Structure 1
């Protein structure tokens, strides 16, 4: 027979853990000396110990492990338990991945602080555009809140336009407006031709109005006399450093922003790191500039 120390070494566990397993009834020693209280195990018990360790490593509680090793859990129930653990672990991984992405964004923001070349930003006018638009509310303007709202909007709008037989006349545009209480109205839009949308199922009678039954609306985006424009390369969950660089440029050059930047998707390949998006921040036009233009 093996002493508790020998059994612990062979099983790659601590003596303290074996004592705990004994106390909970999960793994009893083969013999306990009635005089000294010393525990002794057999080599055959290593199989049970290995199974306990493997189940614990999967994240099961000691009570669940005991039910399994005692044979009180059938195959169907074990399959259900494993699927539950898989779902829990997937959620943990997703949360950790999102947190890692935020850490990367913060690192990029710190590393790029104050190093934005002026030629990366240009000021230009934006023409008026007729667009088909679908809207929803995001609880905040943070990328982690915007992403889950704007992506489904664009996918839904693509489907609605296809069903209505309307062709997109330009790249997708994301627009934002305050909705109160920190929330933001998110608009997903595509430019369309002058003759499109008036008689479509998704946009019938919607010129300047709200969509019906989840349909889109057709509106005219007004022209913008002056907008500060910068190009962001990569996934939109990493857009914060680019947007902050744009805002610093606006402040440094004595301008004032007029609302949120428009986000125009210039290139959207399958690999998110290769996306190219233009941020267009409308500027407040000063009276002097208005008179001279």
Structure 2
């Protein structure tokens, strides 16, 4: 048996807490010396204490813990409850990390409001683009990754001859955004590869020829987390020039988003986000 101080060190639970558990009947010592009042605990009480501490970590009150222990709790049930709580905490951490990134981006935007824009926006005549793309409603703006894999797999045996210029050996990639207003979720976007030649459609992958057009463009240097600043800079430039931006349309009447992101750097070849380059371009409406 262990005196309360020894037991406290063994289980790393403060003595006042053990005394309180005794007081409320949650974990009573196996023996109390009648003359000294010393409390003694046994190793056989460790499983019960472990369950008490685990249930406390799950947010149970002491009254609820007493009820659960009285009804009996198998080791498998305990493991299941802890696994569920583990998954919940991981989800909370992921959400908190996402919120932290968003706060940092907003803070950076506010700090830059009084500074001159570092983006050099230019007018650019874009020649016709032959693209293979997969369009989908995405959970957020960073959800395009799987779509690129889907396009590449759909190209199959045609990939070697059809993929456009670099970066990387897998061709030039870009994203088209279709929404006419900013949305944080359920974003309408398409992942695309520029092609050298026509290939047949396959599954959700379709091939389109986007006609030549005039676009306002700039180059974003750095992580994709802050690329919104580049879009904002181009939009402000368009408005300042009294111009209007509008969706792309093919000769067959298929409509596409006005905004595209062309990835000039392959993250697989350049692991440092600070060195990534992405061209942000917005299509200008054709004057009637």
TM-score using structure 1 length: 0.69
2:18, 2:38 → 1: CA distance? 15
Confirm whether residue 193 of structure 1 aligns to residue 175 of structure 2: no
Partners of 2:276 and 2:113 in 1: CA distance: 22
- 3-state SS in 2 of match to 1:111: helix
1:147 corresponds, among 138, 142, 147, to 142
Superposition pairs for residues 60-209 of structure 1, below 5 Å?
61=60, 72-74=73-75, 76-117=76-117, 120-138=120-138, 145-148=140-143, 150-165=144-159, 167-170=162-165, 171-178=172-179, 184-194=187-197, 196-197=198-199, 200=200, 203=201
User: d(CA) in 1 for partners of 2:105 and 2:124?
Assistant: 28
Partner of 1:282: 283
2:230 aligned residue: 242
Whole-angstrom CA distance in 2 between matches of 1:267 and 1:65: 59
**Structure 1 107/53 Cα, relative in aligned 2: closer, same or farther at 3 Å?**
farther
1:233 aligned residue (197, 205, 221): 221
For 2:283 and 2:126, how far apart are their aligned partners in 1? Answer: 9
What is the alpha-carbon distance in structure 2 between the residues aligned to residue 125 and residue 244 of structure 1? 20
> Paired residue for 1:26?
26
* Native 8 Å contact 1:172 1:189 kept in 2: yes
1 CA distance for matches of 2:65 and 2:116? 56
Equivalent position of 2:241 in the other structure:
253
> What TM-score results when the alignment is normalised by the length of structure 2?
0.70
What number of residue pairs does the alignment pair up?
A: 258
1:224–1:84 CA distance, 2 compared to 1 (3 A):
same
1:128–1:224 CA contact under 8 A, matched in 2: yes
Mark the runs of 5 or more structure 2 residues left unpaired by the alignment: 166-171, 248-257
* Aligned residues: CA RMSD: 4.2
- SS in structure 1 of the partner of residue 162 of structure 2: coil
